[in-house]
Structure 1
Amino acid sequence: MAQLSISFEGSRRLTGPNLFSARPGAVLEALGSVTSDCLARWRRYVQRGRDLLDWPATDASIVRPHNQGASLFIEAPIDLLMTATELNEWAWQTARSEAEMHAPGHPLAGDETAALATLARMQREEAHPAFRRNYLRWREQFAPILFDDESVTLGIGRECRQVRWATKDISAPAELLPADPALPLEPTPVAMVTGSNGKTTSVRVLAAMLRAQGFRTAHNCTDGLFLNGQRLARGDYSGPQGARDVLRHPQTEAAVLETARGGMLRRGLAFTAADAALVTNISDDHFGEYGIDTLEELAEAKLVVARGLKPDARLILNADDPLLRRYGPAAWSHVDWFSLSGDVSCAKSDSAVLQVRDGRLTLSIAEVAHDLGAVADFPLSLGGLAPYNTANLMGASLVAYRLGVDLARIRSVLATFGAEHGDNPGRLQRYRVRGADVLTDYAHNPDGLAKLLQVARAINPRGRLALILGQAGNRDNTEILALADVAMRFRPDLLVLKDLQGYMRGRAFGEVPQLIREHLLDLGFDASRLRQHQTELEAVQCCLDWATPGDLLVLPVHASTAQEAVAALLERAS
């Protein structure tokens, strides 16, 4: 039997501002060659559905071509996003004159009359006019509105009021919440943090600064949910649900939201009333997912955070990143800049600017300079040897300033954060084990690994180098092999390959290490210097067993449970 060829691989709701629009909608990922004639038919069928369902005439249909095909996005009313996905799938299959898949109760390509009747029924079942009216009012007021499949909430922390969808009367929808909600009496500072590298470190530093100001601060990141530095839940919470969880916590007085690229592309932004957003940098990572194939497209995806800002909020950007200099001002008009190099010529007159001058951090506001301290004295900078961590401190400091943290408290956190391993677990930790220098970090892409190895060699220029290397299964082969290319530049004396348990993402055990091994051997790496282990802890132990005094061990560790086990092992061995 011939295998059915499927022309799209995903169809999903975008429940908040997203890559395509500041409005919610539905997107379908079409595969293969997408002709202009087929797209014209798709638009026509989408419009027929909209006309029948009486959706706003201003709703847009957007096509975004990419290497795998094209993303087909349609704006839709906030309470009809499931209906929108059905309309999108039906319009695409009908445009291709091929009913690829069909289940009873869903629109059938090839029978337009029946399909439109099915869509009308779906709309009646899903519609919630009261929520739609209130949502539009709340968005206009930049009120703190959050919703998911379970409930709708308005407010943050102790001001948060919640109504569960299960209480909805479909035949006569009741008002979920007051049409003109009383906003929280006390302002709740909220910041979003995104970028290719340094997100979690920046989130932790910023949360520490807000705590120093006296706020009970919640944050979400790749390691879990936290309140005042204490873990509430373990796991990767850098997506929309993590943001909702910390904003809804009854004790939250300030919030820092790690906002990963994947969550923005998969669902859109969860929150649309932030006071500031930070983009740390743009570097190669995750190409091929959700139609992102180039650095320019990745920059566009990261800058979606600007669509979640209040009108007077600030966007904080790295002036040393050429893509952020190029695209940032077009994404948002109120931009502050930080720079290790000192080049802030992109700044406008109303911009706050943070630079390194003569080895000291200097914050300039309206031509008044404020000294924040010597970079070499900041524990997180490793005596000034870790410039990427200095950049993380700079971005977090600018956000903290814009959220109202006193400069004295910013200085205090800069001078102390990172002195203890528990301040920033899993990110650039330094140990001394039996006379060997040991660095652990999250370094998960070529840029991050190269910077980690540069720091390592600045600390120990001549010792034998051991490195562990692995990658998540959802990276394409080019990205995986780029890690091996970086490793080769630093000529490790021992290279231990590993699987990333919990990050296999469709790959078989041993597949990624074997891919890296073959590439290294093709490049001329000595096979006798290669080892391979299935777990990260085993890979670390292999390096420790090999090491002698004066050696340098560079240990990127990714799974949070492995990070904790490795930290405990190194603490005992130190």
Structure 2
Amino acid sequence: MATSAHEGGDAQSMRPSRPVSHTVAELAALTGAESVPARSGAAEPVTGVVLNSREVQPGDLYAALPGARVHGARFAADAAAAGAVAVLTDPEGARLLAGAGTDLPVLVCADPRAWVGPVARAVYDSQPADGSGQELFAVTGTNGKTTTTYFITSVLRALGHTTGLIGTIEILAGDTPIPSHLTTPEAPHVHSLLALMRERGITATGMEVSSHALEFHRVDGVRYDVAGFTNLTQDHLDLHGSMAEYFEAKAQLFTADRTRRAVVVLSEEDPWGAAMAQRARENLGTERVSTVALRGSDSGEDADAADWTLRSLERRGIGTAFTLTHADGRELRVHTGLPGEFNVANAALAVLMVLDSGVPLETLQRALDEHDPLTTSVPGRMQLVGTAPTSLVDFAHNPDALVRVLRSVRPENGEGRVIVVFGATGQRDTTKRPIMGRVAAEEADVVIVTDDDPHGEDPGPIREQVAAGAREAVADGARATDVLVVEPRATAIHTAVRMARPEDAIIVAGRGHETAQDVNGVNVPLDDRVELRNALEALHAHTKEQK
């Protein structure tokens, strides 16, 4: 559900110092909107765009959009008082403004949200027509977006770029980090950030693009150089309703007005990859779409049809070395220090997206060999917190991600157990709760169900729905020998550490880098990494005392 302008979003916005002023008439021509002039005085030029009336600065166009609870037009007086010089709204908003006697010029169109991005692009000049903007890389999919964008920017830095990042964990504008509350910020923030990055000399930026961002027009007006697709598994069905609708939301990225080129991961386990590749070819042309098959010669039809094939996987420590082989015989030797086959897929996608941006293969290979850029640390993504027992924190919060993580931490010698601590989010897709419980019991030896972010939902029933799926799997002969329900989450983490033997592996899943737990609208401080580290220190201190 979209929020109204007064309901929030990222409160802090960094803007470029040199916006391009536009008259209201010019913006009316751009949008095709009906222009209602101010009742008194001449219209002032527009030098900024905002969705939130609390962010208005003098010279801004205020986009008054319909929200979940209230129409943004009701805050137009606040926007005007803060210095807004014009309003963009729909017919309902125009009626509200007329009734309130707001004395600002108004642009009226049927779907104003769809025009916020293009207007912000024009005002902030985020992608100049002369091509002087930075290269832009977009990653979408259910799992792997964050890690892949970190990989992309790390490879680009190894190639000599100064990079920017817009994602779940953080936004980096030059050397300045900005906390991110949405996977993708709203359209005015995206365009102002891109323009600011260009002013600061950033030459390439990686961005996560969620289905929410595409559905709610947060990246409208942005055209990427290369867009990548990781996978599509069950998530966000509370918004999309079905996997087919979820696919259609993601597919919006792979159109000619949003990206020049595309790279798509193919996997026998994910038929949506082949469907996305086909859709991208239809929209962009076959020559602008590259595919990579994950399982080498075992990939069957995917491997035969793919442009690139992943071969010669070799375990190196907790990471993996592998080769990407093109159908024409070209090869890239790649290494990632992050554990798990899914990180091999993320690394392959990142490398090929950079290659498809126009970097010569020999230049890219040299950067991979000399800098090992795919061993970069990603906060809260397979983040190693301790050893003996091996203890990791990951953001896995849906069934597919949980399976991938649990399989990646299982000791190769078979002597250690896998202990998982996780829960399910409240007020989100309820159908995945028992599924997550089941896959946890099938892949782990000990399952500890606890709370994730319950939001406004009673956490007890959430835990029981997850645990029921785990218990049913155990009854059917699943791997797990124990299914525990423990709350609060910090206690569950400490319980896992106390149960663990040195040869075991603990994975605390679901929240990753997050540092606060939403309990009925209250942010309760909680960082899985801190709790896990504290529990391990307490364990080791106790062990020393016993010796």
Bucket of the pairwise TM-score, normalised by the shorter protein: 0.5 to 0.7
**Residue type at the aligned position of 1:371:** L
**Residue type at the aligned position of 2:357:** L
**Residue type at the aligned position of 2:439:** V
Residue of 352, 355, 360 corresponding to 1:401:
355
CA distance in 2: counterparts of 1:258 and 1:553, whole angstroms:
28
1:13-69 per-position Cα deviation (integer Å, ceiling 9, x unaligned): 9xxxxxxxxxxxxxxxxxxxxxxxxxxxxxxxxxxxxx99699xxxxxxxxxxxxxx
Tell me what 1:154 maps to: 125
Contact 2:398 2:436 in 1 (8 A): yes
Tell me what 1:505 maps to: 455
In structure 1, list runs of 5 or more residues that go unmatched.
1-8, 14-50, 56-78, 91-102, 106-113, 157-181
Change (3 A) 1:197 1:513: same
CA distance in 2: counterparts of 1:569 and 1:147, whole angstroms:
46
Change (3 A) 1:208 1:509: same
Change (3 A) 1:517 1:52: closer
Per-residue deviation at 1:126? 5.7
Matched, 1:429 2:394: no
1:97-128 per-position Cα deviation (integer Å, ceiling 9, x unaligned): xxxxxx9x9xxxxxxxx989948959996644
Change (3 A) 1:568 1:236: farther
Q: TM-score, normalised by structure 1?
A: 0.63
Change (3 A) 1:146 1:509: farther
Contact 1:193 1:199 in 2 (8 A): yes
Tell me what 2:530 maps to: 565
Change (3 A) 1:231 1:462: farther
Per-residue deviation at 1:504? 2.8
**Residue type at the aligned position of 2:332:** D
Per-residue deviation at 1:325? 1.2
Tell me what 2:275 maps to: 326
Change (3 A) 1:120 1:567: closer
Contact 1:471 1:512 in 2 (8 A): yes
The 5 A counterparts of 1:272-287 are 272-287=222-237
Tell me what 2:88 maps to: none
Change (3 A) 1:126 1:476: farther
Change (3 A) 1:329 1:460: same
Contact 1:155 1:184 in 2 (8 A): no
Contact 2:417 2:444 in 1 (8 A): no
> What root-mean-square deviation, in Å, do the aligned CA atoms of Structure 1 and Structure 2 show?
4.4
**Residue type at the aligned position of 2:307:** V
Tell me what 1:372 maps to: 333
Change (3 A) 1:308 1:217: farther
Tell me what 1:186 maps to: 132
Helix, strand or coil: the match of 1:285? Answer: coil
Change (3 A) 1:451 1:116: closer
Contact 1:271 1:308 in 2 (8 A): no
Tell me what 1:306 maps to: 254
1:424-466 per-position Cα deviation (integer Å, ceiling 9, x unaligned): 2211234653x32323321111001111111122545232332
Change (3 A) 1:571 1:527: closer
1:495-524 per-position Cα deviation (integer Å, ceiling 9, x unaligned): 222222xx3333134442233234444555
Matched, 1:255 2:209: no
Matched, 1:488 2:441: yes
Change (3 A) 1:474 1:194: farther
Helix, strand or coil: the match of 1:267? Answer: coil
CA distance in 2: counterparts of 1:217 and 1:397, whole angstroms:
15
**Residue type at the aligned position of 2:352:** L
**Residue type at the aligned position of 1:276:** V
CA distance in 1: counterparts of 2:303 and 2:423, whole angstroms:
39
Per-residue deviation at 1:529? 4.6
CA distance in 2: counterparts of 1:231 and 1:191, whole angstroms:
20
Residue of 333, 337, 349 corresponding to 2:291:
337
Tell me what 1:315 maps to: 262
Tell me what 2:509 maps to: 556
Tell me what 2:426 maps to: 473
Change (3 A) 1:406 1:534: farther
1:165-212 per-position Cα deviation (integer Å, ceiling 9, x unaligned): xxxxxxxxxxxxxxxxx6356341001111010000000000111111
Change (3 A) 1:553 1:146: farther
Alignment length (residue pairs): 426
Percent identical among aligned pairs is 20
Per mean C-alpha deviation after superposition, the further-off stretch among 256-265 and 325-334 is 325-334
The 5 A counterparts of 1:107-118 are 118=95
Tell me what 1:451 maps to: 404
Contact 1:210 1:400 in 2 (8 A): yes
